[in-house]
Amino acid sequence: MRPGDLLMVAGDHGMTASGNHGGDSVLELDAALLVYPSRAKLSTRVPNATVHADPRMAQIDLVPTLACLTGVPIPYSNLGVLVHELVPFEETYRACLVENMVQVGGSAVLFY
């Protein structure tokens, strides 16, 4: 991978043992997600960790996190929050956190 590249591998939702899908069981709702930035320096917020096994994240939080990792603005109508474990640099995390706070806070002010 080149510096600045981001590898993401995401799976679709699953199905029950009987082949059904579209329900609300864990097997039907959970999906796998692997995020690997080429700048693979681990966050100082996660000491001595190289793999994050089975952390849960809401689907809505993927948008601001992906925007932060790729360097694009967080979409105006987004209501998700930044997943700090996926952002490898403290400075990047802080800058994105401020942007996310302003964006979500601004949406709430305009809505209410």
Per-residue model confidence (pLDDT) at position 95? 86
* Angstrom distances, CA of residue 62 to CA of 20, 21, 22, 46: 26, 22, 21, 19
pLDDT-based confidence at 41, cuts 50/70/90? very low
Please state the domain extents for the chain: 6-111
Question: Is residue 68 within 8 Å of 82, Cβ to Cβ?
Answer: yes
pTM for the model = 0.64
- pLDDT tens, residue by residue, 63-100: 888 888 888 888 888 888 888 777 777 778 888 888 88
Mean pLDDT in residue range 10-28: 77
Which three-class secondary structure string do you get for 37-55? ECCCCCCCCCCCCCCCCCC
DSSP 74: P
- pLDDT tens, residue by residue, 49-71: 455 555 778 888 888 888 888 88
Q: Which residues pair with 32 in a beta bridge?
A: none
Q: Which residue has the tokens 């959970």?
A: 30
